[in-house]
Amino acid sequence: METVAGKSLVLGLLGRGRLVEARDAAEQLLTRAPEDTDALYAAAMARLVGGDTASALPLLVTAAARLPLDPVIACNLGMAHLRLGDSSAGIPHLQRALALRPEYDLAAYNLACAHIAAGQVEAAQPLLRDLLAKSPGNAEWQCALADTYRLKGDWRRAIKGYQQALAHNPALFSANLNISGLLTHVGEAEQAIEHARRALAASPKDANAHLHLGRALAATEHYEEAMDVLADGHDIDPTHRGLGIAIGRCFMSQGEHHEAGDWFSQVLQQHPDDLDALCGLAKTALEDENAERALQILLPHRERGDNNPEYLLTLADAQWDDGDADGALATLERARELHPQRASVHVRMGNIHSSSGDVPKAIACFEQALADQPNCVPAINGLASAQRGKIDPAIINKAHDLLNKAGIPDGPAATLNFALAFYHDGRKEPEIAARHLREGNRLQWEARSRRGWTYDPADHKRQIDALIATFTKEFFEEHQGIGNPDPMPAFIVGMPRSGTTLTEQILARHSQVLGVGERNYATRAFNAFVHKNANGKLDVATAFRNVTALDLAPFAAEYLRILQKLADKSGKPGVTRVLDKMPDNYSMVGWIALLFPNAKIIHARRDVRDVAMSCFQTQFGAIRWACHPEHIVERIRQYQRIMQHWREVLPGRFFESSYETLTNDQELESRRLVRWLDLPWEDQCLKFYESDRLVRTASITQVRQPIYKTSVAKWKAYEPYLPDLLEPLAALNHKPL
């Protein structure tokens, strides 16, 4: 009787929250009667409730073995396994408890939680629905059911479930925590912040609450506060991988890629196989325009990453940046299977289809993104870009409503202004479109400058000065033919939006030409050469002062290795020319001519006013000089300066193609292009738009439609409204050669 009374005393103290007294009484009871089942159970419960689950477990195992028909002991034993992270071991005990007492609601709830922890959400849902049928106002049960929807990727239904739970208990920690994470994912970060603050108030020392609040703050571009919150969480739990990754992402968002990489590497030191940290490192490589390095980081983990949406999204970004549009779409399709309501997946797919010229598929993807996330700014912009003045007016009204929303970050506000500019441009309303372009570019610069963007036209001028001073006529005479003679490399250079993609598409239809899109290999090889031969400095003159064939050989060999790999991967037989259409390679013409004396170079020329206008209309992700009219004008000035220099020191070394001539007489200019590559003419070059290859371009109709002339002299409509951009360019516009 003494142990029965002792057990009742312990359980009573536990019920009143007097944990220390209960623990002392239980341990005394166990000392007096170590073999008594009631004493064992009392001590086990005191330890379990007090948080010492590991030491409670063996006592519960013994108690359950002695009293196998006791549903309470079976339930608590299952709970102990669940708390220790072994849900699979806990499930049979909880099932036995429920079988012994079918109306045992606590056992049913804990069994549902064990199934959720084991990833068996379908087994958890009927248990929770039965419980809620008996007690619809139970917030914890409602929250658990919402958890199952969240884990299945049904985010909207999960959010509704958490809201129902919070209607019954506004302070419920788990509901506030989980809904905050979902709201951040669906683009409603302001609401996410509110719920994350509630979760943190309920549990100030919970690292996950710090993580969710930090993520939501970062999503609204409140980076300083986000970093403070995340740092506080990291102080609480320095081993928390999510906090380390979130801090790294915050650094990434502010343009501090080196610091970001350090944080991702730190997480990987503690958790070597963490996919999110690996994705972070891959993203730092993508920010450095090194898609090849990003793929090297990601691809070895493809099998286990196939069920991780973050991994799949990062891999798709790397594939897309590497020019593998088909691979990126296939990867995104897998991500969509996992999270069919994730708007960012649909947006990415829409952007690829849009950039590849498949407008109907792009529109379908953007519409799906808006169906899943009604305020999805990138989807609004995608539809406006694809449909221009024909977009549903309700979407334009939504864009205005979002712009008028208090606290909208500069980044999304910039994107909405670009969307409205597309809309009014399509409606032939250049004055209104120009206003939105100015505001969009201003906000784009504000947002990006906080993420580390800088641009000094004087720096670019100094780079051009150095190239002109180094690559003189005498230099090329002295070093003639010292590069690799392989004729495979071919290049299209020029300003962005000058017709480089159109030129590539025409040539890539030829049976012997492979177009590989925009590759920054030339610039990377140039910078590596300069660093190696100028003692780690960007001193062009020193690097090339005594250049020899031996110096150039490894750089040419590596470049050719990459091109051959792309040719082999393409599966296109008989390729003799691999075409790199990176526009910025106009500054690399001298380097290319030195490295590959037999390379074919094409300079795509276009009225610079149309170039400037098109750049100002495009929300580039990487080009930093397109936000300010004065930067665009000066960039064009230096572009023309260096191209004139190449004409003088490398006469006849490159072919100059005219966009205006190409749109006016496609066959004449196309034949000249093919002839320049020393290839026989093939009629399919005139039907470039019939190609089934997916390419990357900012012109969403250019690659899937015959040539049209509406983009010629488009600048004229904007001349009265953007005089600071267009007037200085009148004198700079190229003259026929």
The more confident residue out of 25 and 707 is: 25
Instruction: Report how far residue 109's alpha carbon sits from residue 634's, in angstroms, rounded to the nearest whole number.
Output: 68
Summarize pLDDT for 242-256 with one digit per residue, the tens: 999 999 999 888 878
What is the per-residue pLDDT for 704? Answer: 47
Residue bearing tokens 């670019």: 460
What is the per-residue pLDDT for 698? Answer: 46
- How many residues in total does the chain contain? 737
Instruction: Report how far residue 502's alpha carbon sits from residue 508's, in angstroms, rounded to the nearest whole number.
Output: 10
The stretch 510-523 carries a mean pLDDT of 89
Instruction: Report how far residue 608's alpha carbon sits from residue 610's, in angstroms, rounded to the nearest whole number.
Output: 5
At residue 709, does pLDDT exceed 70? no
- Residue 114's nearest CA partner among 71, 157, 146, 85 is 85
At residue 231, does pLDDT exceed 80? yes
Asked which of 149-158, 267-276, 532-541, 551-560 is least confident by mean pLDDT, the reply is: 532-541
Task: Give, in degrees to the nearest 5, the angle at Cα 261 between 255 and 267.
Answer: 135
The stretch 579-608 carries a mean pLDDT of 95
Summarize pLDDT for 396-406 with one digit per residue, the tens: 999 999 999 87
The stretch 719-737 carries a mean pLDDT of 82
What is the per-residue pLDDT for 290? Answer: 85
- Position 737 confidence tier, pLDDT thresholds 50, 70, 90: very low
At residue 703, does pLDDT exceed 50? no
Helix, strand or coil, per DSSP, at residue 627: coil
Q: Between the CA atoms of 234, 236, 241 and 245, what dihedral angle is there, to the nearest 10 degrees?
A: -20
What is the per-residue pLDDT for 200? Answer: 95
The stretch 673-678 carries a mean pLDDT of 96
Please give the radius of gyration of the chain, using alpha carbons only, rounded to the nearest integer. 32
Task: Give, in degrees to the nearest 5, the angle at Cα 454 between 450 and 456.
Answer: 155
At residue 702, does pLDDT exceed 80? no
At residue 11, does pLDDT exceed 80? no
At residue 736, does pLDDT exceed 50? no
Contacts of 274 (CB under 8 A, 6+ apart): 241, 245, 267, 268
- Position 195 confidence tier, pLDDT thresholds 50, 70, 90: very high
C-beta of residue 425 within 8 angstroms of C-beta of residue 386: no
What is the per-residue pLDDT for 453? Answer: 83
Instruction: Report how far residue 503's alpha carbon sits from residue 518's, in angstroms, rounded to the nearest whole number.
Output: 13
What is the per-residue pLDDT for 6? Answer: 62
Token pair of 397 as six digits: 């009204």
φ/ψ of 492, rounded to 5, equals -115, 125
Q: In terms of CATH, what superfamily is 2-237?
A: Tetratricopeptide repeat domain (1.25.40.10)
Instruction: Report how far residue 380's alpha carbon sits from residue 312's, in angstroms, rounded to the nearest whole number.
Output: 23
At residue 700, does pLDDT exceed 60? no
The more confident residue out of 6 and 305 is: 305
Summarize pLDDT for 557-571 with one digit per residue, the tens: 999 998 998 888 888
Helix, strand or coil, per DSSP, at residue 536: coil
At residue 468, does pLDDT exceed 50? yes
- Most confident by average pLDDT, 22-26, 284-288, 375-379: 375-379
Instruction: Report how far residue 94's alpha carbon sits from residue 314's, in angstroms, rounded to the nearest whole number.
Output: 40
CATH of the domain spanning 457-701, picked from 3.50.50.60, 3.90.320.10, 3.40.50.300, 3.40.50.620? 3.40.50.300
Residue bearing tokens 């012109």: 699
C-beta of residue 587 within 8 angstroms of C-beta of residue 467: yes
Token pair of 146 as six digits: 């919402």
Whether 457-701 and 2-237 are alike in CATH topology: the answer is no
Token pair of 142 as six digits: 């409602």
What is the per-residue pLDDT for 72? Answer: 87
C-beta of residue 524 within 8 angstroms of C-beta of residue 290: yes
What is the per-residue pLDDT for 447? Answer: 87
The stretch 137-160 carries a mean pLDDT of 92
- Position 199 confidence tier, pLDDT thresholds 50, 70, 90: very high
Per DSSP, the chain holds a count of helices (H) and strands (E) of: 39, 5
Token pair of 480 as six digits: 């003639």
Q: CA of 522: how far to CAs of 63, 116, 236, in Å?
A: 72, 52, 47
The stretch 10-19 carries a mean pLDDT of 68
C-beta of residue 316 within 8 angstroms of C-beta of residue 332: yes
What is the per-residue pLDDT for 552? Answer: 95
The more confident residue out of 357 and 723 is: 723
At residue 257, does pLDDT exceed 60? yes
The stretch 29-52 carries a mean pLDDT of 74
**Which one-letter DSSP state was computed for residue 495?**
S
φ/ψ of 486, rounded to 5, equals -55, 130
Domain residue spans of the chain: 2-237, 457-701
For the chain, give the percent of residues with pLDDT over 70: 94
- Position 1 confidence tier, pLDDT thresholds 50, 70, 90: very low
C-beta of residue 326 within 8 angstroms of C-beta of residue 294: no
Instruction: Report how far residue 549's alpha carbon sits from residue 530's, in angstroms, rounded to the nearest whole number.
Output: 15
Token pair of 457 as six digits: 């036209």
What integer best gives the mean pLDDT of the chain? 89
